[in-house]
């Protein structure tokens, strides 16, 4: 298994999510952190949603995203769940923000 370190906390492993950028030592894709941030979750609050991550990992992932927006946006779009498939309770919760 070959891994490619991209930054201090971001890596790629072809055996995990087909090589999509992830947080080192986890299966958490950078896009998951970016998705929370785009919903208005402050970086300091993201570990409440992803408790296995620390702030250094969160900020490194956001930094990686800002340097590689086109790539990460493509992963986000590719994994987007259509609105009609989102459960109404989840929609209501998202609309509260």
Domain CATH for 31: 1.10.10.10
Q: Cα separation of 39 and 41, whole Å?
A: 6
**Tens digit of pLDDT for each residue in 27-83?**
999 999 999 999 899 999 999 999 999 999 999 999 999 999 999 999 999 988 777
Q: What is the pTM of this model?
A: 0.80
Domains held by the chain: number: 1
Structural domain range at position 85: 4-95
Asked whether 41 and 49 are in contact (CB, 8 A), the reply is yes
Would you say 48 and 74 are in contact if contact means Cβ atoms under 8 Å apart? no
C-alpha–C-alpha distance, residues 41 and 35, integer Å: 9
């Amino acid at each position: 298994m070959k891994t490619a370190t991209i930054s201090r906390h971001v890596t790629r492993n072809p055996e995990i999510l087909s090589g999509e950028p992830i947080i080192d030592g986890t299966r958490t894709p950078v896009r998951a952190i970016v998705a929370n941030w785009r919903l208005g979750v402050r970086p300091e609050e993201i570990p409440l949603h992803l408790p296995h991550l620390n702030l250094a990992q969160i900020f490194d992932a956001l930094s990686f995203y800002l340097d590689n927006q086109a790539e990460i946006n493509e992963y986000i779009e590719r994994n987007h769940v259509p609105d009609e498939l989102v459960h109404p309770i989840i929609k209501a919760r998202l609309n509260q923000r």
